[in-house]
Structure 1
Amino acid sequence: MILKNVVQKNSYYDSATLMLLSSKVGQHIGSTKQVAVMMGSDMNKDIMRASGLLAAEGEAANPNDLIFAIQAETEAIIEEALAMAQEILNSRSAKMEQQDTQVVKTVADAAARLSDPKLAVVSLPGKYAVREVKKLLRENCHVLLFSDNISCEDENTLKDMALERDLLMMGPDCGTAVINGVGLGFANKLRRGNIGLAAASGTGLQEVMTLISNFGGGISQALGTGGRDLKEVIGGKMMGHCIKLLQDDPETDVMVVISKPPAPSVMERMLHQLQQSQKPTVVCFLGGDENMDANGLYMVHTLEEAACKALELAKVGRPDDLRQGHDPLPAMAQTLREKLDAQQTNIRGLYCGGTLAYESMLLMKQALGDVYSNIALDARLALDGTAPSQGHTVLDLGDDAFTVGKPHPMIEPSLRGERLLQEALDPSTAVILFDVEIGYGSHENPAHVAAEEVAQAKAILAEQGRQVIFIASICGTYEDMQDYATQKGLLEEQGVVVLESNAQAAQLAILTVSK
């Protein structure tokens, strides 16, 4: 194999753009593991070095330099891949020029060119992001902070600055939001309506929003806080502000709050604030106490039920149609169970969406007992992401153990392929449970990638004379650019059972392995 690094001096691109670029070039040469297009920061060089993709030219790069690292069998393949990468970047620049997009190099320059900047999305390495977010907040600009690797101390500082100015500071590691109908980050084509949401969860927020939209409701606002906001160390600062904004928003009639269970003191303040609202409010604490005193709030325990209850309270849409998706599951499970042999007893969940993985893990634990996972709450069930699965297993493939130096699997779902084949060939595997995300920012045809992986696994299984059940849900709207119906059809052509929600998919998997 030949390794080549090409350095483009003083050429900054954000990490999301470069992850998409790495994915496309990797697909072109047949392996996303042999391509890295990154800025020359010390952390990125460490990642490339660990992946065996850093050469002397890349070692010499500065943080403002762009490194193209490609490994292939021949120089010709490398040159073709480099040309493709450069063409994509040039095309992006040309498109920005056609759209009259102004390119600036500083926050001060951007603020000077805009008469009254309102909102900024920040995707920078953590140590640079904090500095730039401070500048934006001083310009009285709301911020969605996509970046991670921000310390709790810095997060508190940024959120305190924002609250002093009555601003949003959504993040760090905030992947999605909707402000006045405009989607930010990983977003979907949603109906406008009267349901407002606040969440410390990315794909959890997407799941509820898309189900509301698909079943006849609409979204007024959807605000993210970042995953740590409800921990004791942050104190729910931004969640409290988001709730107040929704309470005051004339377009919002019904509110939905989504998160893992907050720290006890944070929960007490949060519930008190919600109980003062004149607007009906749905609360989904995934994994929370099912006997919690609602005291006027509508407590639910799955993302699907959060969507259903919001539709009911808003007096719109078809919540009963969504709930009725559970009715045929027992009969379906009986039919699927007949395809399995006595050895096949385990569910293996392979998820791109972290909150969807967490929800399935909780549902499986409640019904089946121990579930091993790289996001397990019980230390004795913790599974290193690279270790073989045990018993029932759910993996969050977006976790750092899988994504260091690689695109997130919502951007590049083929990263799931190797693990899917490994699980399918385990004689104890009965069901492989997985998700497909569509919408802005996600892969352009994720179901095609998944369908090819399932077909490969099924061909090998057929030679062994046995079957594995594949069950999936699609997180997205019927109107998303990848076309929901097409994505569903691609999966069903390979025999994948596709259900309307993650909760339904997990429930069918549970019923299939239950005696």
Structure 2
Amino acid sequence: MNSWVEVRSGAYRDSVTLMRVSRTLAERDGVTAAMVAMATELNLDLLTQQGFAVPAGAGPNDLVVAIRGVGEAAVDGARRALDGLLAEVPAPAAPGIAETEPPRTAGAAARRLGEPGGLALVSVPGRYAFVEAMDALTAGLNVMVFSDNVPLHQEVALKEAAGRRGLIVMGPDCGTAVIGGVGLGFANAVRPGPVSLVAASGTGAQQMMCLLDTAGVGVRHVLGVGGRDLSAEVSGRSTLAALAALDADPATELIAVVTKPPAPRVADLVHSAARRLDTPVRFAMLGEDSADLTASTEEVLTTLGRAAPRWPSWPADRRTARPRPGALRGLFAGGTLCAEAALVARRVLGPAFGSGGHRLIDFGDDGYTRGRAHPLIDPTLRLERLAAEAADPACAVLLLDVVLGYGAEPDPAALLAPAVESALERRDDLRIVVSLCGTPADPQDRDRQAAALRAAGADVFVSNAAAARYAAGLARNGGGR
């Protein structure tokens, strides 16, 4: 077995590009492992775990390449292919368009177009996001900051600047938005309709919009505000601006606010603002004593005079031996889905939730995404953890979310279903439960994904709360539905 490791100082590439390059190299004949990534602490740890010797001094501004293969020829071939894969080929200019130098910032683009009031989407490493977002605000643009790892004081400064200009900052760490039916970031293909969402939660918004779509109710706007907007420090600045903007939209008949627990003072502020609006507002604020997102969606449907459907689920095609009680392990890509599952599991398992070896991990947390693509795009870390948890005899139930939509992994079941099948073949007392957030119109096709995961042996639910309730019940007593 031959290995090769190289560090390229200052050679930055975005995490999505590097994930695709790594995958392409790993699929070459004779290559047994390949990783091309920025040399963050997390990525260096992963390389060490894979048995690569990383040169001393590599840092987060450096590109590290590690390839292992059967024989020198396989490794040398991958090395030769690397530069071509990393090369950026600019798209040709459209016919009839003068090949002028492109603007280098969002603000420059806005000034060239001369159309203030539009929207700039900022997706750069977190330490650079403030400068780009402030430039866009100065040019009169609303801003969606997709970037994470942005310091809190910079978020406050951006939102104060937006407020002075009558603009909105969505984010930082705003992963999902829908503007007039057009999805941005990780958004699902949902029918247009009368409901608009204000969301301090990306996957929470996706869960609600997908459930509404399943119930035949469409969505007009989803304004993400970032997970910290309802903190005491940020004080709901973007939430209040979003509520006012949606109240002024005559096509929005109902507003839903989706968030994890807000700071008490900020919750009071937002509720007070909502009572002054002409448009009815419903709240889905996850907390110990609050309704789950499915129940909150059902309340929205009731307000609209619509009956909640029976939420679809797909029981596993093949059953292993009768499951036994044991530890529940949750491996999530969505932070709010993880938080909701923890609340539901705690209600089912009671005090044992904190002492029975149960644990739920959010792989979309900043600590896991620094220098890496989000797990909705790159499932590598989660698949590795799935195999490790399945090998732990204390683990009785694995609970995972699969989030579909634009920007997400093109075919998550293609990677997850074989991993599920392999885990169940090794453990006949293990059960795997999947929360599937998506719609039939998504590029990945929700129902096709469900069929593949069901065939692999997983129980699949469109309601994250229902999936967590079922999984926790299995962990508690090994029972069925």
Short-chain TM bin? 0.7 to 0.9
Is 1:453 paired with 2:436? no
Structure-2 separation of matches of 1:143 and 1:366: 39
1:485/1:105 Cα in 2 relative to 1: closer, same or farther (>3 Å)?
A: same
Match of 1:348 among 326, 329, 333: 329
Write the letter of the residue equivalent to 2:422. Answer: Q
TM-score (normalised: structure 1):
0.80
Matches within 5 A, 1:45-60: 51=47
Cα deviations by residue, 1:153-188 (Å, 9 ceiling, x for unpaired): 111110011111111111111111111111111111
Match of 2:384 among 386, 399, 418: 418
CA contact (8 A) 1:210 1:477 kept: yes
Matches within 5 A, 1:117-196: 117=116, 118-196=118-196
CA contact (8 A) 2:143 2:168 kept: yes
Pick the structure with more helix per residue.
Answer: 1
Structure-1 separation of matches of 2:411 and 2:301: 30
CA contact (8 A) 2:396 2:430 kept: yes
Structure-2 separation of matches of 1:31 and 1:261: 46
Partner residue, 1:113: 112
Shift of residue 47 of structure 1?
5.7
Partner residue, 2:91: 94
Structure-1 separation of matches of 2:129 and 2:363: 25
Shift of residue 87 of structure 1?
5.2
Cα deviations by residue, 1:438-475 (Å, 9 ceiling, x for unpaired): 111111111121111112112222xxxx3211111211
Structure-2 separation of matches of 1:253 and 1:368: 39
CA contact (8 A) 1:22 1:37 kept: no
Structure-1 separation of matches of 2:137 and 2:87: 32
Is 1:2 paired with 2:1? no
CA contact (8 A) 1:360 1:506 kept: yes
Shift of residue 279 of structure 1?
2.3
CA contact (8 A) 1:144 1:171 kept: yes
Match of 2:444 among 451, 472, 482: 482
1:357/1:506 Cα in 2 relative to 1: closer, same or farther (>3 Å)?
A: same
State the SS of the aligned residue for 1:321.
coil
CA contact (8 A) 1:196 1:221 kept: yes
Partner residue, 1:377: none
Shift of residue 122 of structure 1?
0.7
Is 1:319 paired with 2:319? no
Shift of residue 8 of structure 1?
8.8
Shift of residue 107 of structure 1?
3.5
Shift of residue 489 of structure 1?
1.2
Structure-2 separation of matches of 1:220 and 1:83: 48
1:508/1:264 Cα in 2 relative to 1: closer, same or farther (>3 Å)?
A: same
Is 1:303 paired with 2:299? no
CA contact (8 A) 1:19 1:411 kept: no
Structure-1 separation of matches of 2:131 and 2:217: 39
1:46/1:336 Cα in 2 relative to 1: closer, same or farther (>3 Å)?
A: closer
Structure-2 separation of matches of 1:360 and 1:402: 19
Partner residue, 1:71: 67
Partner residue, 2:346: 365
Cα deviations by residue, 1:36-79 (Å, 9 ceiling, x for unpaired): 344xxxxx566655546897799699x6xx84623223554455
Partner residue, 1:214: 214
CA contact (8 A) 1:348 1:394 kept: yes
Structure-2 separation of matches of 1:155 and 1:238: 10
Matches within 5 A, 1:490-501: 490-501=452-463
Partner residue, 2:322: 339
CA contact (8 A) 2:170 2:225 kept: yes
Cα deviations by residue, 1:390-422 (Å, 9 ceiling, x for unpaired): 522211122344444432211112322222122
Partner residue, 1:41: none
CA contact (8 A) 1:4 1:71 kept: no
Structure-1 separation of matches of 2:173 and 2:346: 27
Cα deviations by residue, 1:175-221 (Å, 9 ceiling, x for unpaired): 11111111111111111111000011111111111111122111111
Structure-2 separation of matches of 1:345 and 1:475: 26
CA contact (8 A) 1:25 1:85 kept: no
Structure-1 separation of matches of 2:64 and 2:343: 41
Structure-2 separation of matches of 1:339 and 1:411: 34
State the SS of the aligned residue for 1:242.
helix
Partner residue, 1:294: none
Shift of residue 321 of structure 1?
2.8
Shift of residue 96 of structure 1?
7.9
State the SS of the aligned residue for 1:284.
strand
Shift of residue 22 of structure 1?
4.6
1:460/1:513 Cα in 2 relative to 1: closer, same or farther (>3 Å)?
A: closer
State the SS of the aligned residue for 1:308.
helix
Cα deviations by residue, 1:70-121 (Å, 9 ceiling, x for unpaired): 3223554455546666555668633786897984323453224323151111
Match of 2:357 among 366, 369, 391: 391
Structure-1 separation of matches of 2:336 and 2:352: 16
Gaps of 5+ in 1: 39-43, 291-300, 373-380, 382-388
1:126/1:266 Cα in 2 relative to 1: closer, same or farther (>3 Å)?
A: same
Gaps of 5+ in 2: none
